[in-house]
Structure 1
Amino acid sequence: MAYFLLLIGFVLLIKGADLFVDGSSNIARLLRVSPMLIGLTIVALGTSSPEATVSIIAALEGSSEVSLGNVIGSNIFNLTLVVGIAAILYPLKVESETVRKEIPFTLLASIALLVLISDIFLEGVSANFLTRSDGIIFLLFLSIFMYYVIEVGLRNRDNSEKEVSPDVKWPRNILFTVLGIVGIIIGGDMVVSNGTTIAYSLGMSETLVGLTIIAVGTSLPELVTSITAAMKKESEIALGNIVGSNIFNILFVLGASSAITPLPVNNKVFIDITVMIVLTLLLLLFSRTSYKIGKVEGSVLVIIYVVYLAYIIFRN
């Protein structure tokens, strides 16, 4: 029964995120902001909402290791499989602002996470935690990022190239957005409770299930959204979605989760965070080559994820 409910939870998450992205993206277009900004904010927030819901519910229910594992696993999945498959389907165009500002900001957030959980090394205490004060620091970082993207959006608002279709109406898209949020919340609760039950029955640790089953499940909206955007040749939305999602995952998801309750850190996670940082650097390197990520780079990223997945499964 738990497997069936987990599947239903994933369906609700994915469909909810799909409705949320469609509705909120159209609202953003009605406000006449650029595709890259839509990817970085509205779409990124929408596709990150499953991670947020799952991690916050996990924190409230005492399964706090799931919260950290979910975010790190989702970010690694985004940086490898999501970017990789999207780039294989259609080369991803990278804007200079993304190379100079957004990807470095993602790198900064990842390094900040590594520093904030290194309590034993830096303070000599008995255990590593992501504390409430750490969570507040992340939320402050998020406010800086949001100020930046809003400023960019206002500056480029009049330069929006695409005309809004007459069929795009406010009421319909507000309804889609609300229904999407409801689906995400209900689905997130089902994924956490049933995913944790299955993990325990299989002898898996909370950290491993967060890094694998739940991370992949909650990252499916990013995968679907980025692949769809790449196939429609809207690569700015595809890459903006991935970069924005990773920023939201660290700053908002972990910030909110640890502000609710301190998150204990499994020592194995340090390796995963290091992998996440290296992959962010690799994305930055790939992005600087002709300002696009092509099929070769995409294939390399997919292979890296397969190797990483095998490693964490055997590590458990």
Structure 2
Amino acid sequence: MTYLLLVVGFALLIKGADWFVDGASSIAKILRISPLLIGLTIVAFGTSSPEATVSILAALDGNAEVSLGNVIGSNIFNITLVVGLTALLNPLKVESETIRKEIPFTLLGSAVLLVLISDIALQGFSENLLTRSDGLIFLLIFAVFMYYIFEVARNNRDKIPVEETSEKATWGKNIFWTVIGLAAIIFGGELVVRNSTEIAVSLGMSETLVGLTIVAIGTSLPELVTSIMAAVKKQSEIALGNIVGSNIFNILFVLGTASLITPLPVNSKIFVDIGLLVVLTVILLVFSRTNFRIGKIEGTFLAIAYVLYLVFIILRN
């Protein structure tokens, strides 16, 4: 029954994110926001809403290690397997100046996280902890990021054609599906946290491992599906914008909110994963800035990197 409820939870997360993204994207188009910014904001935040829900609920339920493991695991999954598979289907062109600025912002978020959790090494404390003060720092950086995005959106608004679909019926329909999607995400997230934790305990897995694997992969499925669909439709800016925006949202908003609710204890093993996340983000930055495209060779490298990482963390447990 536990496994069945876990599957139901993941199904609600994925379908809820789909409804949320469709509704919110339609509203964004009516408001004349560019496809790239839709990818970086509405789509990215929508596909990251499962991570946000799971991590915040895990923090509220006292399963703090799941919160941190979920975010780090999801970000590694996004950079490696999601980018890799998407690039294998259709090479990702990195033409926009915005995306080339967002990837360094992702790197900044990962580096700040690594510094903030190093309490023993840097401050001589008895344990590593992501405190409420750290959460406020993340949310402050997130606010700066959002201000930057809205400034870009405001400056580019005149270039976007006016949608002829701003009738009240369209607004009502889009708001309805956005709210229904959000409700499905929240309920599905509750099912995933509760049942994945039960499975972890029964199998002798640590909360950190289950967060890095089962929960991280499950909550990242919306990013995978959305990016693949965008690549198939040759909308590479939405695909890459979705991935980069999701990673920024995960670290700054999700971890910021979760640690504000309750301080998150840091398992010493997670330092390796965060270090790997920083290295992978640098590799993605190099790939995007060299030929301004992420092709099949780079995609293959990133996909293989995730498989090797998955084998490593399972053996490590």
Q: What's the TM-score, normalizing by structure 1?
A: 0.98
Amino acid at match of 1:280: T
Looking at structure 2, the residues matched to 164 and 256 of structure 1 have their Cα atoms a distance apart, in angstroms, of 38
Tell whether the 8 Å contact from 1:135 to 1:257 is kept in structure 2 after alignment.
Answer: yes
Deviation, 1:163, is 5.3
Deviation readout 1:59-99 (Å, 9 max, x if unpaired): 00000000000000000000000001111111111134245
Amino acid at match of 1:206: E
Unaligned runs of 5+ in 2: none
- Counterpart in the other structure of 2:253: 252
- Counterpart in the other structure of 2:171: 170
- Counterpart in the other structure of 1:136: 136
- Counterpart in the other structure of 1:108: 108
Change (3 A) 1:229 1:164: farther
Q: What's the TM-score, normalizing by structure 2?
A: 0.97
Q: 1:1-316, aligned counterparts within 5 Å?
A: 1-98=1-98, 100-160=100-160, 169-316=170-317
Tell whether the 8 Å contact from 1:77 to 1:216 is kept in structure 2 after alignment.
Answer: yes
Amino acid at match of 1:210: G
3-state secondary structure, aligned to 2:62: coil
Looking at structure 2, the residues matched to 115 and 203 of structure 1 have their Cα atoms a distance apart, in angstroms, of 30
Looking at structure 1, the residues matched to 44 and 206 of structure 2 have their Cα atoms a distance apart, in angstroms, of 29
Looking at structure 1, the residues matched to 212 and 110 of structure 2 have their Cα atoms a distance apart, in angstroms, of 16
Deviation, 1:296, is 1.0
Tell whether the 8 Å contact from 2:100 to 2:288 is kept in structure 1 after alignment.
Answer: no
Unaligned runs of 5+ in 1: none
Deviation readout 1:121-162 (Å, 9 max, x if unpaired): 010011000000000000000000000000000100111268
Tell whether the 8 Å contact from 2:30 to 2:165 is kept in structure 1 after alignment.
Answer: no
Identical counterparts, % of pairs: 70
Amino acid at match of 1:234: Q
Looking at structure 2, the residues matched to 162 and 47 of structure 1 have their Cα atoms a distance apart, in angstroms, of 26
Looking at structure 2, the residues matched to 300 and 156 of structure 1 have their Cα atoms a distance apart, in angstroms, of 35
Amino acid at match of 1:286: F
Deviation readout 1:217-236 (Å, 9 max, x if unpaired): 00000000000011011111
Deviation, 1:276, is 0.4
Looking at structure 2, the residues matched to 164 and 226 of structure 1 have their Cα atoms a distance apart, in angstroms, of 27
Looking at structure 1, the residues matched to 205 and 249 of structure 2 have their Cα atoms a distance apart, in angstroms, of 27
Deviation readout 1:82-122 (Å, 9 max, x if unpaired): 00111111111113424541100100000000000000001
Looking at structure 2, the residues matched to 244 and 260 of structure 1 have their Cα atoms a distance apart, in angstroms, of 23
Looking at structure 1, the residues matched to 127 and 309 of structure 2 have their Cα atoms a distance apart, in angstroms, of 26
3-state secondary structure, aligned to 1:83: helix
Deviation, 1:165, is 6.1
3-state secondary structure, aligned to 2:290: coil
Deviation readout 1:247-269 (Å, 9 max, x if unpaired): 00000000000000000000000
Q: How many residues align?
A: 316
Change (3 A) 1:164 1:35: farther
Deviation, 1:43, is 0.5
Tell whether the 8 Å contact from 1:99 to 1:288 is kept in structure 2 after alignment.
Answer: no
Tell whether the 8 Å contact from 2:30 to 2:163 is kept in structure 1 after alignment.
Answer: no
Deviation readout 1:261-312 (Å, 9 max, x if unpaired): 0000000000000010001001001101221111111111000000000000
Amino acid at match of 1:23: G
Looking at structure 1, the residues matched to 238 and 96 of structure 2 have their Cα atoms a distance apart, in angstroms, of 14
